[in-house]
Structure 1
Amino acid sequence: MFFLKKQDALMRRTVVKCSASVLRERSAFSARRFGTQNSLPSEDESGHLEQFGLEDITSLITSKCRLLATSKTGNAKRHQDECEDDWDPVKIFQSCWGWRSSDDCRFEDSPSATSPSLSSISSVTRSSVPVRDPSAPSRRKRMAESALLRDMAASIIQKGWNAGTKQEFATKFPNLTPFHICDILKAVQDPKICMQIFDWARGQTGFRHTTRSYNSLLGVLAGREGMMILAHLQEQMEEDGCEADKVTLCTLIKAYSKLLRPIIVLELYEKLRQKDWVPGIVTYSCIIDTLAKHGYTEKAREVYFEMRMSGCYLDKTGYNIIINLFGRKKNLHMVTRLYNDMCECGLEPDGYTYAALIQAHLRIPDSVLEAYKLFEEAISKKLTLTLATCNALLYALGKAEEINLTLQLYHQMKNIGLHADTITYNTIVTVLGQGNRISDLYSVIEDMTIKDNRGGVAHVSAIEWLVSAGKIGVACTLVEDMSKREGHPATFAVDALLQGLIRLGAFDKVHEFVRNMAAHGFRLEASKVSEIVKSFAESGNVDGTLKIFYLKRELGYPPDQDSYDSAIICLSKYGSLIQALRFFDDMSEIGLTPRTDTCNHLIHMFCMKCDMATATEIFNRMTSIGCVHNVGTYNQLIAGYANASDWVMAFNLAKDMETEGLVPDTDTYLPLIFSLGNEGRMEHALQLSTQMLDEGLKPSSHLCMKLLNMLSRKGHERGALNIFTKLKEKG
């Protein structure tokens, strides 16, 4: 019936199909033909292989191999001697199931407490096969129902769990069993629908959920639902008299691990230990990962050693995750131990492993050289490392002032095909600038130019990074050298340098740079120098402003309006008004006309000093030098006279303002109103306030409150109320 040369293929097919009934039928056939005893489970005891532990499956395969050998030759002993390697169950497992080692816990969800070593598989006796659940349907019956279950699951997924699908399910499966529920839950996988099916089945007459059906539902809900549902199911499971088994606890551990509940995970693990149930790789990985992520490093270490004692080993991905976690906790001793264990298991470290090792060493002071050795080891094995890992190592080497190694690492990154990003260039430029390695800086800038295809951008970036790192001298030297090479000022680089220096307040360096550039025969544009003067003035640096102003004149730049205006405003605000007025006179002498805003600022400053004569003189000179009055000019002078209680001049200026065709605004009225009010002339103040509002002018909320408070304080509550009413009408 069977040929020996096809025996190995038959065994593979038998195991893959997980068919106990095939074994039973072949065993019965041998018993009828050759008088052998059938030691396999009967029809009522048989079930699918997923209920079996490792020992069960081993015994079944061993029996099957022997029966096949007997059926062909009639001499089991002679065939065993000739074909020992063919029917050895260890090799069948290795070839059919991809079994790696005795520590590969692929059967963690099986009822077996532990996974026996491969060396002990062939010695397992058939007497160790447990009696399976009598309620489990036979394989033949389950195969007949599988098509119905698939159709039913598809219908439920499409239509949902409603009255129609309930009736259809009850019709197709009148004798509902927990196995039907398990299969339908696994097929549907939708948490909400699965809960509805589970609750519906629980309410059916004569039906009772088993631990297995609860496990199926927990498997669907794991990581998808919150703690409340999981806790409710655990309570409901106890009410139904279903005791949690190993699968239940392992499933809950995975679920609570995804919910980031380390305390509950630890409690469930303790329950496993109390029952002497050893979890598998996946469960151990979840436990260690959750504990380490939440700071329970010592406990995670204990669980890892318990896992090793139980004979389980992580896979490569698991080791990478755990090494990374302990590396983040700066536990270098544990990282080294994990790496050694990984190598002992025969697992070859990959790029992720080395990345985790490098990051772990970088977190420890004085371990940067060890991290670099790991990098060289990784690239010698032609492993791929991420750019983020290399950037971190590059930064650490630069911080440790290992300039040569930093540059060497940069070139190694290029050689292995890693494309540098902004962080890479920023780091290498800063480090080379720190070491004053100008020639190497040019090499890096050329790389940046090739990458961006825009030389200006590369130069600007390099200068900005150097200035930000405080390497001002190197940045200035680099820009000067660039200008020498190009034969003219490197515009982009000069702008970046000046902006950086002014932002840092390094005004002496700016002055020195401009002078040095001129000494090398490179004159900056006049507008650029004027911008420097303006930047100094806006910063309030009077000495720096005057220094760069006179340097501009010394270098032969023609005088311009912008430089004078900036100097006048800076001097009047932060320095000497007399000196500011002298600059104002100089502008008139050389034929430059100041801006109206500059004149307004001077008038305002002299009014603040109560020097109304000088303020009026500037006001009168504006027309003669070609500077036009505006509303702001009049407002400054009116406010000055109003504060000086010279009402005649103030009101005359207001009339002159209207004569010139300028329309008064709130800044024209309010100084007069407040000055009159402070002098006790409330009738005039109230009259001006009413006139201002009648002309459609509305002051700010702050000034409105100030006006109302003044009127109320001076005893003009009725006037304040009228003003308030008008303000309310105007919104």
Structure 2
Amino acid sequence: MRPSWRRARWHRYCEFHSSAAAAAAPSTTAKNGKGSHYGSFFQFLRQHPQVGGLAPADRNGNGAVEEEPSTSESPAEEETPLNIQAGNLHMYRPSRPPRWEPFKSRDTIGSFFSKMEAAIEVGNVLREMGWNEDSQVKVEKLKVPWNPLVVLQVLRQPLEPDAAWGFFQWLKGVEGYRHTEHTYNSLIEVFGRVKDVTGIQKVLDDMSAYGCGMNVVLFTTVIHWYSRADDIDRAVEMWNQMLKVGCLPNVVTYTMLMSLLTKLKRFRQVGEIFKDMVSAGCRPNVRTYTVLIQCLASSGNLDAALLVFEKLDSLKASPTAATFRVLMDSAASAGDLELLKGLFEGMKKANQKPNGKMYFTVMDSLKKAGKLTEAAPLLEAMESMIEADQLYADFQAKTPDQESTKEEDDRRGSSGGETKERSVPLQDMEVMEGLDRPLVDMKAFSTIIYRWTPETAAALEAANFRWDPWKVLRVLMGMRDVTAALRFFYWVEKQPGYKHDSFVYTKMISLLGRHHHFSQVEELLMKLQSSDIEVSIVTMNSIIFTLSVSHNPDLAMKIFYWMKDLKVKPNTRTYTTVIDMLVKMRHFDRAMAIYQEMLDAGCKPDAHTYTVLIQSLGREGKIDAAEHLLEKMPLNGCKPNVVNYTSLINSLIHYGRVSHALAVFKRMQDEGVMPNSITYSLMSKGLKRANMLHDLVEVEKKMATIDFWKQQRVKSEDETLVNETILKALLPELKRESQDQRQTE
């Protein structure tokens, strides 16, 4: 039942519209007093669908309006136009259809694969015959139930642009079908893979004429393929058009454009784009920082690149293998073997492994710097961490031999034309050549395997579907029943050629932990320990966090100490999660013991760790200990932030020490930490309660001069330092302005 205020508002809402309905349809009467509001209102909506919506019962399965048959007793009345906004009837608007209408959960495994098989057959026809009258007749005979997702499966196959274009235009005449921005996006990728910028422009013109609008994903896709084709002018033009129409770029768009400008050595433009990104409030990710590090290193600012690299962990952007590769290549080019060795050791500590591409890139850079002989032991250590097959494959990709080139030429026609693609059977449809993603859309596939039954298992086995950890992850994310997910987990493990990895185990354990199936969690952990799967710190942190929010501290602590047996060293996030869990369970002594163990292990706490500890000491009434901990933060290499000070001020005010809280409030500003709205609100309430009116007036005056709405996200000191370092390195005028300002001061 609705709350009383909602019921009252609902009755007023129905009374207003029932009066309008009575005026428009006076012959409509109600059978009872309470139903007079609802019955007349619904009847009014049935007779006036143009007002703004219909009840769900007034629509059939296809979304069309069902017309009521007219009878002699109740003759049909003419529709009376009323001046009512559609927004007033938002409750009765037809529900928006899902994005992939044909693939709802009611579809079966068999119907899904039949549609995928039809898409494969259409792709084979287009590759063998192109698009002409004969291929059109052949496609029509297949009687494919066309919808956007089936079209996507066709366009994801390696097709000739002309064949894809003809097929795409033919679909416009198919009854009941309409292209979406997703199908246009896939067609742009067909032209982009062959670097046909003219074809991309043709698709954009057709899209505009068709009435399909552009969004940030389409803009980003076009900029990406213009970048791959080295057409900087078109990419920048598309960027300017994106800003002109008011479409805000996302982090992927910014990163893509900066990557293109870095390859073209337009470092100043990279700085300008990054400045706009920071001003727009778009937060960089690890890929963005990797591109910026490459830009700084390529522009001769290796020190700035190393500073950004050192701050990545504090920015919650852990470096990837690509980040290490960029810096190791720069260090090798500079001939700095000590830096190269340090980066390699850091890479091993971060559980990142080198690949063949990194190995050969570093080797070439060392050879050019004349340091190849001196770096032989380091190269041998790198080579020992790379599998032989992968190293050979990367070497073949770097320097293709004559035999592979001859085989590739034999696959081409006698006239030197393009390669003739082979037909792809159903069981090979998820490993297409020339594609970097599977043909089967696992997002749509996971919607039909939301539960697990013997019939589902039999259908999947009959389809000869090839499983890999990525596909299993997507299915587990789409399943609703944790018991069914566990059955699927054990079933797929027995499939030939498949093996679980640490990410699949992490996802399954997290699902079980959130649903409080702790016995199965322990069973899977024992199974993971007995397997040869390498357990990373990311896996352990995810499992401990899941158990902590599931209120099972005993099992979480058991796994925390079990990490030593697995030789996985806890990091700052691990200790912080455990401390936070113990504090919430009011085990303050154990939390402080873990904190001391963290310091003894040489792991540096971060600002969040201290926030948890200060809050826990404040709740226990140990205010002096909390303040002492805050003062010790700089000694441990962590400067207090606004959250740390606010936590201490809150505890001081709670225990009536308002004067001391005011002193801490002034001290934080003297140290350059600006209070936020929460800090000011706490001080205002505390001063008012303590009747310190003079100080209250000063605080509220200063509070009135600050626009807290503009402070959407408080930037940390490290983030500010990184942004300033990047901008000063890439935009020299900012560096000169900073120097002039220092001289003036």
State the TM bucket, normalised to the shorter chain. 0.3 to 0.5
Higher CA-based Rg: 1
Choose between structure 1 and 2 for higher RCO, CA contacts under 8 A separated by at least 6 residues.
2
Q: Give the TM-score normalised by the residue count of structure 2.
A: 0.35
User: Which structure is higher in helix share?
Assistant: 1
